[in-house]
Every structure is written in C-alpha cells, then in structure tokens.
Amino acid sequence: MKCRRCGKQAEVELRSHHAAFCRDCFFIFFRRQVERAIKRWRMFKPQDRILVAISGGKDSLSLWDILLNMGYKATGLYIDLKIDGFSEKAKEKVEKFAQERKSDLIIVDLEKEGIPIPKIIHYSGKEPCSICGQIKRYYFNRMAYEKNFHVLATGHNLDDETTRLLANLLRWQMTYLIDQA
C-alpha cells in the first residue's frame, strides 16, 4: 500500500478516511486534523492555558505532544493512582516525556491525598473503573480550577467512548447511560 500524500510505502492505514500514509505524512495529516478540530469547534485560543490529563498512554501523550508542537501553553497533569505494576511505569514515562520537552508537569499523589485507589476499591465494594474514573475527574477539575487553567483536555477517543457505552448497555447501568446522553 502506498502513502496517499507522497507515494512512499505506507505504514499507517486509516480505513475511516480511506487513506494510508507513510510515517512523516501521517504526522502532517494528524496535525492538520487537530488544527481543524480546534478551529471548527472553537475549543480554545492560542493564549489559553491548557491542562492536559495524562495517563501515560499513547492517546494522552500524543495530545500533549501535538499541543506543545502547535505552540499552545499545555501543562501535563498525572494522577498517581498507586496501582501495582502500572502506576510507577506510567509515572516514569510521563516524567521522561515532560523532561524531554521541557514542559511543566503536575503530579497528584493519591496516597499523599489519603485515597490510594487499591484501598478505596477494597473498602467500597464498587466497580474499580467507576471509582477510578470519579476520583480522576474530581482531581482533573480541581487542579484546573486551583491552578487557573482555561481548558482541561483529555486524550479520549471515540473507541474509548464506544467501549464505555457498550459496557454500560450490557450491564444495564442506567445511571451511567443517562450521564452519557
């Protein structure tokens, strides 16, 4: 398969766009898509301070990276959940990313806040994803407010939203379904 822009060997296929791109052309395409979305939906202005919720995964790190490359004042926010086998690796990855880009990073340590996720899950008896999501959203909003950010950005994509919707449908979680409307 050939790259739609330059004709080189394609490395990325985007079926929803009926297109394939080489590595370099994909980054150009991706940046243009982000620029168009920001402009079309009037998400924020160049002078706005943006707080980017960072998990350590490719979606949130890509969002932070593209915003920085586009010249936005974007600060990362990492919530250290204290989940064994995950949190420490993700935190190291996020810190390295911020250091390489000389970008500001805010880290909220839930253990220091008195609410490490594993303990909350153990005592609450609720679904881990539900508890984790509520706590993260609380700290995203709290940090954005306390630190005077104009915008809070997350790296969610349509796959994330679809997965959440289907899971809630399968479990008939009406309260969650109403929230998603």
pLDDT tens, residue by residue, 128-162: 777 888 899 999 999 999 999 999 999 877 676 77
Residues 38 and 49 in one domain: no
Going by C-alpha positions, the residue among 29, 6, 1, 31 that lies closest to residue 17 is: 29
pLDDT at 177 over 60: no
DSSP-assigned beta bridge partners for residue 109: 80
In this prediction, what percent of the chain has a pLDDT beyond 70? 91
Residues 97 and 53 in one domain: yes
5 contacts 23 by C-beta, under 8 angstroms = no
| CA 137 – CA 81 distance, rounded (Å) | 13
Q: What is the CATH number of the domain that holds 103?
A: 3.40.50.620
Looking at residue 150, what DSSP letter applies?
S
- Please give the structure tokens belonging to residue 3: 């790259």
Residues 33 and 56 in one domain: no
- The residue segments making up the domain with residue 132 are 45-180
Question: How many independent structural domains does the chain possess?
Answer: 2
The per-residue pLDDT of the chain, averaged, comes to 91
Residues 39 and 91 in one domain: no
